[in-house]
Structure 1
Amino acid sequence: MHFIVGRLSSGASSTQAFDAEGTAVGERMQHADDAALATFARLESAADPAARWVWDDTARWYPRLLRHGVRVARCHDLRLAHAILRLSTLTRGSALSKAPRSAWDAAPAIERPPATHTALFDVELDAGTGDDVAAPTDAVDETLAEWRRQLETVRGSAASGRLRLLLAAESAGALIAVEMRAAGLPWSIERHDEVLTEALGPRPAAGARPARMHELVLAIRSAVDDEQLNPDSPQELLRALRRSGINAASTSQWELREIKHPVIGPLLEYKKLARLLSANGWTWMEAWIVDGRFRPDYVPGGAATGRWATNGGGALQLPRQVRSAVRADPGWKLVVADAAQLEPRILAALSADTAMAAAGRGVDLYAGIQATGVVETRAHAKVAMLGAMYGATTGESGRLMPRLTRAYPRAIALVEEAARAGERGESVTSWLGRSSPLPPAAWFDVQSQASAADASEADERRARSSAREWGRFTRNFVVQSTAAEWALCWMAELRTALLAMPDQPGSTSGQGPASSGPLAGTVFAGRPHQVFFLHDEIVVHTPAALADAVAEQVRLAAEAAGRLLFGSFPVDFPLGAAIVDDYAEAK
């Protein structure tokens, strides 16, 4: 299968679909042909600002372009778009949604490597009638056919405008993911080693426990009177706890915290340090930090909700202990921004609940809910709201739900309706058009068995339990997936703004001038660029001279993302932002 189609250019007066020169480039690019790369660079630099490249998989093609100094402004990722269009309820009944599985449904490819600011989403995804498409060669026939299938599917959908925005944002996210890996998250191995040594003691010999963990093992063994206990074995640990009179059902830290016994303190501390050692210890540092950079493989759309995942490295789970090792290069700064109470604000906009949106206007949303008298404390507001979005029906959350329902009926009705749909085994859909998968076949088997004439009470209980569980998934899906869409638009708008900012030739990167640092010779030298993303948080690495301007662009991008999704609906998306030298300073 050949991958790159060519360049789609959409102009104000006419639409020129696939440039013949771009198509030929695509065929040669399979071998990273120098002439093809030069043509890519020339076409990109001379491009209509609304133009975009169309290819099968950004993760396959874009890394090699970046290594050769070509930074793409826009693209359409056919594989990511195919996944959305196949499942979306907005495209139900389309030929694409009913087609047999094919190579377009395969997992993403991951390649591991040895101008004027314009609005990102100002041009609709459209290639005209196809009459102006250059005659394709055999090498690009299938890719061109998939592109046409997607165009037809979007045109015939129930909400083509929203889907176009979603596909544009998803494709922009794919570019950002590749760029973040290429640039890398700046990382100080010296500081990382200090953090590990402070917490664990000096690095031990291979196979041995660090000194602090060894001390804790001795304390744990003494507390349960078992000199041979291995606390890393859940089975051994559980037996030892029970012999000591602790009737624990598991060794989960959440359960252990509720128990009063001399072993609990050292055991919880040991578990904490063991996680640090295994997830981000010296072995992890040697494997993942190269030339002062952490470069994980980001997987856009890796979760069903559209949230990102990573393929190794645990980038989306960096513990607080090691965040001080994320350090800007000399002469640079980190701009760290996160959206406050993103999911409940998304829920207010999704449901058009003006009362809930008003509670968070210009203030902390949970504090705003408290101020209206719905609940007594901010903590109560947070517990109640999270319970509404995640389906908690017992305890404090369950007690407070009736108050929340009376105060914000539209918001609560939306998640309740999503939950009921899931309990019936139906899909639910985000604001822009990403839909949840249907339950697996085994789920439907359980429901069918409960409806059979010979069904037992146990069958009925199992069916109700599995229905409620899937309902909790769909309840949160509509909110979390739409929040992921907002975040994609936020990142994409910010990327466009950063590309338009002037570079700083005098900025240092590493030791010495810009020409000798980690970013030397790359498209990121002297330029602000995104280096980390976690659901509702962005980190930008920027020359210090541009830090204030970057922080302002981060804020403006958040405002733009809200308008792109929800128009003039009066909901705020306030940011917490900090300009720091290391990531830990922002928290």
Structure 2
Amino acid sequence: MYILVSSPPSAKGQIVLRQLDNEGQLFDTFFLDSVDFAGAVEALDEEGVRWVWSDTAHWYPGLLEQGVRVGRCHDLRLCHVILRNAEGAAGSELAHGPASAWDEASADRVIAGATLFDDLLDDGMSGPNDPGRTAALAGIPVSQSAAWAEISDEPGDNPYGDDESLAEFQRQLEAWLGSDRPGPLGLLLAAESAGALSAQEMRFFGIPWHVDVHNRILTEMLGPKPQFGGRPAKMERLAEQIRVALDAHGLNPDSPQDLLKALRRAGLDVSSTSKWELYNLKHPVIEPLLAYKKLSRLHTANGWTWLDTWVADGRFRPEYVVGGVVTGRWAAKGGGALQLPASVRGAVVADPGWSLVVADAAQLEPRILSALSGDLAMAEAGRGHDLYQALVDQGVVDTRDHAKVALLGALYGATSGQSAALMPRLTKAFPQAIRLVEEAARVGERGGIVSTWLGRSSPRPDKLWWVDAVLDSDTPAGPQRDRARQEARSWGRFTRNFVCQGSAAEWALSWLAGLRQRLAVLGEPGARPHLVYFLHDEVMVHTPEACAEQVIQAVRESAAAAGRLLFGEFPVEFPVEAVVVDNYGAAK
């Protein structure tokens, strides 16, 4: 069942429920008081309703605070972005319509016993290109009526308008079902929306953070917390060593401009103060300067100010931005949730009687590439093996490090150095995989669009001036043509990686969604395992100690299920390394 929910401005405290048919047409309406709304959601959710609302990040937190967990949803804002940009739905009204509040809301958030997919894994259907999966993959049987929800607690809370929410749903339904691959695209919409639910639940539960441990880490690494601001003692000692080595009394090492000038005066030919540029230089200043940079990063990004700002009541609650990266990867607002350094991970400590299960998918993007390209040799190399080591064992490369460099070079378009030198051997071993990324690069170089396995499409560059300059044989050789070729290659590297990284993000969302539903039935009410962290190919679950082994099983089952869901019977494995620890720092 699917229901549209709204709160009209003319009726404060009232919720209007509108039942819609499978084409988005109204066929029933009824009302309830807003104070009864959470209870109604809880009751209806048990019947399998799919809630579709304007923005999960806006509406779901209030339900969580009242103890209501939603099983499935369709996030209109997130799905709008996917459908508006999807090449497979390019002929829809949604794709051609003028910019609207939906586009503005999405732009504001972009930073550069059933499971969700129950009965889809062994239903005898073919792969995700089968149009017969259209409705089932997104959980919306065409033969049944549809339920969509727009949740608003108070008049004026809905920025899109009552009628506009219904119109937006109708446009999305038309774009999705009228696309050239509605089955995969429907799965993407469902997975993206499930990710939005997970993001809000992770923020609600928070990452368990031990303030005393964090303080101890900072004191050991930086020295005592300064009483009146300024640098911690160990940083100040290093700063003085830098000044002496550069003969620069009064130098502020936190000023890139002043530091760069001092380095050049000392005879160092540098163009920046980047640690990567400094690393191989020989000079007495290098060692204290690199040490200072490391401590400065810790002090600035995760020091005492960070601790006071972001950790409360023993929890770090970051704001995840689902789909915040164009490839579909997540981003985060504030707190650096996706860049927690190893030095502070020891402060992530499970509650008494609880444990942390930390799991990550091994060599995810190369495995995704094997499935995208149908390269059986590459898939077989990773079956039951460390994929990088398998390349060594097969004689493709001589060391595991070289295998990693070669594969990542293929994914990211490395054109020089060790990656380029190893590419011929990689191409010979896995021709289909390399052909796929090379073709994606050529499309990008021509200013074209590429799409992920399920149908998220890459943005088109704002300016395509280089296309004519490169393709037109009459363009004379010179700076303009050289620059055009450089721009083309740069965009080609982007599209080359977009296909693999975006498809890996789809697998990860499917893994996350399946795991979320499996965890919901473990343990006891009020003490169930729950996701607290997600980073591209890594998850962390906070679990009662008694459930830890069940959680590990759920993590691995969800990974295998995600692989089958996306790639059917193609023989690619997605092994997951999972450990039980009492603090995050012990997991690595």
TM-based fold match above 0.5? yes
Q: C-alpha deviations, 1:159-193, integer Å up to 9, x for none?
A: 11100110000000000000000000000000000
Indicate conservation of the 8 Å contact 1:9/1:52, yes or no.
Answer: no
Amino acid at match of 2:423: M
CA, structure 1 residues 129+140, in 2 after alignment: closer, same or farther (shift >3 Å)? farther
Structure 1 outlier segments of 4+, above 4 Å = 1-10, 14-21, 108-111, 127-134, 446-456
CA, structure 1 residues 500+7, in 2 after alignment: closer, same or farther (shift >3 Å)? farther
Indicate conservation of the 8 Å contact 2:198/2:531, yes or no.
Answer: yes
Q: C-alpha deviations, 1:269-303, integer Å up to 9, x for none?
A: 00011010110000000000010000011010000
Amino acid at match of 1:416: E
How far apart in 1 are the matches of 2:224 and 2:19? 56
Range 139-148 or range 157-166, more displaced: 139-148
The equivalent residue for 1:516 is none
How far apart in 2 are the matches of 1:143 and 1:490? 30
Indicate conservation of the 8 Å contact 2:23/2:170, yes or no.
Answer: no
SS of aligned partner of 1:107:
helix
SS of aligned partner of 2:532:
strand
The equivalent residue for 2:102 is 104
Alignment of 1:502-513 (within 5 A): 502-503=523-524
Alignment of 1:503-582 (within 5 A): 503=524, 525-582=526-583
Indicate conservation of the 8 Å contact 1:57/1:109, yes or no.
Answer: no
Matched, 1:369 2:370: no
Indicate conservation of the 8 Å contact 1:55/1:75, yes or no.
Answer: yes
How far apart in 1 are the matches of 2:147 and 2:343? 55
The equivalent residue for 2:272 is 250
How far apart in 2 are the matches of 1:299 and 1:406? 40
Cα distance, 1:96 vs. partner? 1.1
CA, structure 1 residues 91+173, in 2 after alignment: closer, same or farther (shift >3 Å)? same
The equivalent residue for 2:155 is none
Cα distance, 1:369 vs. partner? 1.0
Match of 2:230 among 208, 217, 231: 208
Matched, 1:475 2:505: no
Match of 1:117 among 114, 117, 122: 114
The equivalent residue for 1:486 is 507
Cα distance, 1:455 vs. partner? 6.0
How far apart in 1 are the matches of 2:383 and 2:141? 41
Indicate conservation of the 8 Å contact 1:57/1:77, yes or no.
Answer: yes
The equivalent residue for 2:156 is none
SS of aligned partner of 1:333:
strand
Which ranges of structure 2 fall in alignment gaps of 5 or more residues? 8-14, 121-135, 151-159
Matched, 1:357 2:379: yes
Amino acid at match of 2:182: S
CA, structure 1 residues 133+413, in 2 after alignment: closer, same or farther (shift >3 Å)? closer
Indicate conservation of the 8 Å contact 2:348/2:583, yes or no.
Answer: yes
Q: C-alpha deviations, 1:339-398, integer Å up to 9, x for none?
A: 000000000000000000111111100001111111111111111101000010111111
Matched, 1:262 2:260: no
Matched, 1:401 2:402: no
Cα distance, 1:15 vs. partner? 10
Indicate conservation of the 8 Å contact 1:8/1:54, yes or no.
Answer: no
How far apart in 1 are the matches of 2:339 and 2:102? 30
CA, structure 1 residues 291+560, in 2 after alignment: closer, same or farther (shift >3 Å)? same
Matched, 1:318 2:340: yes
SS of aligned partner of 2:565:
helix
The equivalent residue for 2:43 is 42
Q: C-alpha deviations, 1:526-553, integer Å up to 9, x for none?
A: 0100000000000000111101101100
Matched, 1:145 2:145: no
Cα distance, 1:418 vs. partner? 0.5
CA, structure 1 residues 402+423, in 2 after alignment: closer, same or farther (shift >3 Å)? same
How far apart in 2 are the matches of 1:531 and 1:17? 39
Matched residues, percent identical? 56
SS of aligned partner of 2:105:
coil
TM-score by length of 2: 0.88
The equivalent residue for 1:464 is 485
CA, structure 1 residues 15+88, in 2 after alignment: closer, same or farther (shift >3 Å)? closer
Amino acid at match of 1:120: F
Amino acid at match of 2:41: F
Indicate conservation of the 8 Å contact 2:448/2:460, yes or no.
Answer: yes
Amino acid at match of 1:570: P
The equivalent residue for 2:61 is 63
**TM-align CA RMSD:** 2.7
SS of aligned partner of 1:337:
strand
How far apart in 2 are the matches of 1:241 and 1:367? 42
Cα distance, 1:106 vs. partner? 2.3
Amino acid at match of 2:114: H
How far apart in 2 are the matches of 1:308 and 1:554? 20
Amino acid at match of 1:273: L
SS of aligned partner of 1:191:
helix
How far apart in 2 are the matches of 1:248 and 1:502? 58
Matched, 1:378 2:400: yes
Indicate conservation of the 8 Å contact 1:5/1:140, yes or no.
Answer: no
Range 532-541 or range 451-460, more displaced: 451-460
Which ranges of structure 1 fall in alignment gaps of 5 or more residues? 505-524
